[in-house]
Structure 1
Amino acid sequence: MKKFVLSLLTIFVLSFTVLPIAFGADNGSDTAASVKKADDFKDLKELSQDEKDKFDALIQDGVFSGLSDDTFGLDVKMNRAQFAKVAAIIFNLKSDEALTTSSFTDVRSDDPANSYALPYIEALKEAGLTNGYDAEGKTYKPEGDVSRQELAAFLIRGLGLDDDAKSATPVEDNSVDDWAKGYVALALEKNLMTNQADGTFGGKVSATRKTLALASYEAKQLLAGATPDDPTTPATPVPTTEPDDEPAAPSGEISPEGKKMLYIARQSNQMQQLKSSPDDEKIIADMKDLGFKVTWINCDKFTAEKAEGYDIIFVSNTVNAKYLRSGIMKDIAIPTIYLKNHGLYYLGLSSQEENTEENNIQTISITQPKEKAAAGLTGDVEYLRKTDNKTAIAYGLPGKEAKVIATIPGKPKEATIFYYNKGSHANNGYEVKARLSFFSFVGDYDNSTDDMWKLLDALVLWTLQNG
């Protein structure tokens, strides 16, 4: 396991050198962790379902338990002793429960508050993940708080992304100390943490058990190759195909199994909106069900260089269009699905930018039923379960070399699903570097029909073939 060297250049590294990827243990009582659920704790009952699922996973894995039988302690500050326990569990470090003496003078077996953490702290030291609290490495300070910016640094360093943090564009946030701005920027980009309700990160604010728990879940998922904010998908290895199994894709086609998808989502300061509008989470879960290995990035953190190494890109409808306006996508030769017509417009692949929505309709018309991207559907297909004057189906106005799969009913120029093949051209002459597709939607995925999801999956898989 990678060892991290104590730096004398910053107060942070002098003060905190435990470098785990997850934090948030309780005071040492684990007896109920395997049988408890989030709804058993009165202060977890009102959380959103996706957060409950994350807490359930952490509780059932023995990473967390409550402060009492019916109270989890969401807003309670977490100290370095609790921090050490979770780090040891997440890293699967061997700890000696029989230990009664510590390498640190302030970690004692007779400490009524923190003695439980002694074997975990020693496990961290043995693994090279801590040098203690002070410069001489004599003390650990088990009762000390962990600030939000320190947590961000722990997460990023623990994931082996220290060099990335040093080269990241620092956050412009006065609540964060200069040394931590790169770490905070990367923690936000990886969706390991989010800003506070006031829009700032609150770097010096002590992290609560809720913050530490959710951050530990996201880091654990990322380490396992999963995507932030997916509480339902365990980190399990991809099964190998036995000789008699059916292939994952028809002969000659690319299977999505294990393919790397970069999912570009809303900008960083809008992440709190996921609680009320979890559309990105739902699409990511669907993509993972198809077999993709999904990584999510905020649109304000995206650069062309960060797309390197991916097999397919998915541009969410939650993206702020201004980040596409610069033409950032024009030289990227990776198959891409757009849920935002603006992305096609900025490449010259759709002739209208704004006002490309139709209200008060529920269906789209399949124009090319024999195309694989049509998912075997024909005629007018119900897209939305219900509609009104505030609910819309989006469209684009593609060029002559586009392949149109579906349109707004009765309006053949308004394409709701279309794609451009690699090597085809926009009307302005732009040459397509890889298959680019547009899929119509404006949001509210609970209002989507099964046929809508079927069409989305079919278009994504077709785009992956990159013809």
Structure 2
Amino acid sequence: MKKTLTLLIVLLTFSVAHAQKKASKGSIYYVLRMDYRDRPVDELVKKRLDSLGYQVTLADQSEPVSKAKGYDLIIISSTVSSQDFGGAYKDLPIPLLTWENDILDDLRFTGKHKGVDFGEVEKEHYIYIVNAPHPLAAGLEPGINSVYRKDQPMGWGKPGLGAATIATMPGQPDKAIIFGYEKGATMDYDFIAPARRTMLFLDNTTFPLLKENGLKLFDAAVSWTKTKKAL
């Protein structure tokens, strides 16, 4: 009887573990500043990712880059300190998503001149979708779309020629707020993307203010960036 019970427990444990592994959409290494005042917003982002079926590990930006190896996706929050970030994670052959505009040049998403190659607008809640067929557009209609409940900061960048630009600031086509690079695409500085790379428009505290359209774009950014290009 004891042997039978032990066997049943082992089988049940294996089945649960297998089901959890099967249900997971992938592992995410989420880089942030752990002791920063906006940490609660990062926790809300993690909660969203958890609900979508991802396994998320939070990591302070001071952790060695090597700890991200083996994960399916790296997310770099805007709560990191850009002054201390440098080009961390730039060379890893792991898909990467960020919404910190101050490190876009370090990651080779854009050129190096703030206010020219990358930057932020203080108040906006509309975006202009220019590449609706792309998966990063989340099925939204081309043209003007509202993504925030009220005016909020939005980061932007001027991507290299190898990028797919999905959305820009309304009336400002040179300011891309959603764009992505395929693996092998030429980024800025003639840098070749070692895996998919995506930039999104969020700021430190804006995630809770996303409307349904905004959440769709967030989910699409995570999904597309993590997914390997079909052969």
TM over 0.5: yes
Relative contact order higher in (CA < 8 Å, ≥ 6 apart): 2
Secondary structure of the residue that 2:188 maps to in structure 1? coil
- For 1:444 and 1:240, locate their aligned partners in 2 and report how far apart those are by CA, in whole Å: 31
Task: Report how far residue 417 of structure 1 moved.
Answer: 0.4
- The answer to whether residue 153 in structure 2 is matched with residue 428 in structure 1 is no
The 3 A distance-change label for structure 1 pair 298 and 392 is same
**Contact 2:101 2:120 (8 Å CA) reproduced:** no
In structure 2, the CA distance between the partners of 1:407 and 1:307, relative to structure 1 (3 Å rule), is same
Give 1:214's aligned residue: none
Q: Among 32, 40, 44, which residue is 1:265 paired with? A: 32
Deviation, 1:289, is 1.4
Aligned to 2:11: none
Aligned to 1:377: 140
- Name 1:100's counterpart in structure 2: none
Cα distance in 1, alignment partners of residues 135 and 171 from structure 2: 23
Normalised TM-score (structure 2): 0.83
Structure number with greater Rg is: 1
What runs of 5+ residues in structure 1 fail to find an aligned partner? 1-235, 242-254
Question: Matches of residues 82-231 of structure 1 in structure 2 within 5 Å?
Answer: none
Counterpart residue number, 2:40 = 278
Which whole-Å deviations, capped at 9, do the CAs of 1:433-452 have from their partners, x for residues lacking one?
Answer: 00000011112323221111
Find 1:293's aligned residue among 33, 38, 55: 55
Aligned length: 209
Partner of 1:437: 198
C-alpha distance 237-285 of structure 1, shift in aligned 2 (>3 A): farther
Quote the offset at 1:238 in angstroms. Answer: 7.0
Q: Extract unaligned runs of 5+ from structure 2.
A: 1-15
Name the residue aligned to 1:414: 175
What percentage of residue pairs aligned between the two structures are identical? 29
Relative to its length, the structure with more strand (as a share) is: 2
- Which residue identity is paired with 1:437? T
Give the residue type in structure 2 aligned to 1:372: P
2:5 aligned partner: none
Quick check: 2:126–2:146 contact (8 Å CA) kept in 1? yes
Q: Deviations over 1:169-199 (max 9, x none)?
A: xxxxxxxxxxxxxxxxxxxxxxxxxxxxxxx
Give the counterpart letter for 1:401 in structure 2.
Answer: G
Deviations 1:304-352 (A, max 9, x none): 2111111111111111112321x22222110010111233311332125
Coordinate RMSD, CA, aligned? 2.2
CA distance, structure 2, for counterparts of residue 256 and residue 363 of structure 1:
35
TM-score, with length taken from structure 1: 0.42
Corresponding letter in the other structure for 1:359: E
Q: Retained in 2: the 8 A contact 1:421–1:466?
A: no
2:44–2:208: 8 Å Cα contact kept in structure 1? no
Alpha carbons 2:162, 2:185 under 8 Å: kept = yes
Letter paired with 2:78? N
2:166 matched to 1:405? yes
For 2:192, the aligned partner's letter is E
SS where residue 300 of structure 1 aligns? coil
Say whether the 8 Å CA contact 1:258–1:293 is kept in structure 2: yes
1:347 alignment partner in structure 2: 107
Residues 256 and 456 (structure 1 numbering): CA distance in 2 closer, same or farther, change over 3 Å?
farther
Deviation at 1:413, TM superposition (A): 1.1
Change (3 A) 1:427 1:449: same
2:121 is aligned, of 348, 358, 370, to: 358
Q: Which residue of 2 aligns with 1:329?
A: 89
Secondary structure of the residue aligned to 2:177 is: strand
